[in-house]
């Protein structure tokens, strides 16, 4: 178990009775899904503990337990369609095969489309006996309010700085302080990044500096960035924009940014105004999740860097 989940796990494990519908939320990259998977194992475990040793736990861990159904966005699609939700309803009305209950885990529950959400409502309203629904979401505000109101909410926290750092060190992530800062304190997010993430972050700062002081144009910076994984690049840029905003508004800097990086960020903040930084931030947020063809990637980067070009 991830160490920062312990308190929440103990709360759930102590509960007499789990709610029939639990909505597990919290920032991306903190391990909501492994937490939910463990909870699903606990519900079907022969010992009732998620022992990880019994047949039920092993079947569930391999995704083959007949009483556990996992729903996620199908490959190549952007949402969970209605027929998947109908399959959930049907699954929960059947008698369990091995365990004494049936469990459905819905990953990225905010991707349920409207008809799928509506199809689930009845089951959430009157859950069949011994049925459990675990919904996982980074963005619970995007769920239908009627879905949210029928679930009990469990918010998982970000790890404390020390826990996050130990986790990254245990996974041999280089420059863990900088990486954790870039990942906004969510260590699991950083594990999906390329090994050269710290170097990429330094390069991004260098590009922003060059454009901001007029040493290079947005177009030149784009040349250096269009080939970088857009999701990773935008993630870094969003974080840098948020640190710059914090610096401009409060004069303080987020944890994790220190030493030479802090000096560079302070110098950069002095070169830019808030409108420019918020422009980058907005642009980066709206560009995330774009299915980016190479040409679009160039446009995205070009627009981003144009925000920091000197005015006038
Ligand atoms: Zn077990």
User: Can you give the pLDDT of all 312 residues of the chain as single tens digits?
Assistant: 999 999 999 999 888 788 999 999 999 999 999 999 999 999 999 999 999 999 999 999 999 999 999 999 988 888 999 999 999 999 999 999 999 999 999 999 999 999 999 999 989 999 999 999 999 999 999 999 999 999 999 999 999 999 999 999 999 998 898 889 888 889 998 888 888 888 888 899 999 999 999 999 999 999 988 888 888 888 889 989 999 999 999 999 877 777 788 899 999 999 999 999 999 999 988 887 665 566 678 889 999 999 999 986
CA of 39 to the centre of ligand 1 (A): 11
Q: What is the model's pLDDT at position 229?
A: 85
Which residue from 101, 167, 172 is spatially nearest to 131, judged by alpha carbons?
Answer: 101
3-155 CATH choice from 3.40.309.10, 3.90.45.10, 3.40.50.10860, 3.40.50.300? 3.40.50.300
CA of 60 from ligand 1 middle (Å) equals 9
Ligand 1 midpoint to CA 15 (Å): 18
**How far is ligand 1, taken at its centre, from the CA of residue 135, in Å?**
22
Q: Are 201 and 178 in contact (CB under 8 A)?
A: yes
Q: Which pLDDT belongs to residue 303?
A: 93
- Taking CA atoms, 42 is separated from 48, 123, 132, 135, in Å, by 5, 22, 12, 16
**Residue 100 pairs with which residues in a beta bridge?**
none
Going from the Cα of 259 to the center of ligand 1, the distance in angstroms, rounded, reads 47
Query: How remote is the CA of residue 134 from the centroid of ligand 1, in Å?
Result: 18
55 Cα–ligand 1 center, Å: 7
Tell how far the Cα of 89 is from the centroid of ligand 1, in angstroms.
26
CB within 8 A of 295, min separation 6: which ones?
Answer: none
| CA–centroid distance, residue 44 to ligand 1 (Å) | 7
The CA 70 to ligand 1 mean position distance, Å, reads: 18
Q: Detail the DSSP E strand segments found in 43-88.
A: 68-71
User: 20 exposed, middle or buried (CB, 10 Å; 0-12, 13-18, 19+)?
Assistant: buried
Q: What pLDDT, on a 0 to 100 scale, did the predictor assign at position 293?
A: 62
pTM of the model as a whole: 0.82
pLDDT of residue 72: 92
Residue 70 has a pLDDT of: 96
> Shortest CA distance to 177 belongs to which of 259, 247, 265?
259
pLDDT for 137: 96
CA of residue 160 to ligand 1 center, whole Å: 29
In the chain, what are the domain boundaries? 3-155, 161-306
What does the pLDDT read at residue 290?
A: 66
Which pair of structure tokens corresponds to residue 62? 């391999």
- Residue 234 CA to ligand 1 center (angstroms) comes to 41
The span from the CA of 216 to the CA of 106, in Å, is 47
CA of 132 to the centre of ligand 1 (A): 17
For residue 126, CA distances in Å to 121, 147, 304 come to: 9, 13, 49
Give distance in angstroms: CA of 7 to centre of ligand 1. Answer: 21
């Amino acid at each position: 178990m991830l160490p920062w989940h312990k308190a929440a796990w103990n709360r759930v494990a102590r509960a007499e009775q789990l709610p029939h519908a639990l909505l597990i939320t919290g920032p991306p990259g903190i391990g909501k899904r492994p937490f939910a998977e463990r909870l699903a194992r606990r519900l079907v475990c022969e010992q009732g503990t998620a022992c990880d040793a019994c047949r039920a736990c092993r079947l569930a861990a391999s995704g083959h337990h007949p009483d556990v159904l996992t729903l996620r966005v199908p490959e190549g699609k952007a949402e969970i369609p209605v027929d998947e939700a109908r399959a959930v309803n049907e699954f929960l009305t059947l008698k369990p095969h091995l365990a004494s209950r049936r469990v459905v885990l819905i990953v990225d529950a905010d991707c349920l489309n409207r008809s799928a959400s509506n199809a689930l409502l009845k089951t959430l309203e009157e859950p069949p006996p011994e049925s459990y629904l675990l919904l996982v979401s980074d963005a619970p505000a995007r769920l239908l309010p009627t879905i949210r109101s029928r679930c009990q909410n469990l918010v998982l926290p970000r790890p404390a700085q020390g826990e996050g750092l130990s986790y990254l060190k245990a996974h041999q992530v280089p420059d863990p302080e900088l990486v954790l800062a870039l990942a906004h304190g969510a260590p699991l997010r950083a594990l999906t990044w390329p090994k050269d993430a710290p170097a990429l972050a330094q390069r991004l700062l260098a590009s922003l500096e060059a454009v901001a002081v007029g040493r290079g144009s947005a177009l030149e910076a784009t040349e250096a960035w269009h080939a970088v994984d857009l999701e990773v690049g935008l993630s870094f840029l969003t974080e840098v924009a948020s640190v710059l905003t914090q610096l401009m508004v409060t004069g303080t800097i987020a944890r994790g940014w220190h030493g030479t990086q802090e000096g560079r960020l302070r110098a950069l903040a002095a070169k830019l105004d808030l409108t420019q930084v918020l422009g980058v931030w907005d642009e980066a947020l709206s560009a995330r999740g774009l299915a980016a063809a190479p040409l679009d990637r160039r446009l995205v980067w070009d627009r981003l860097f144009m925000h920091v070009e000197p005015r006038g």
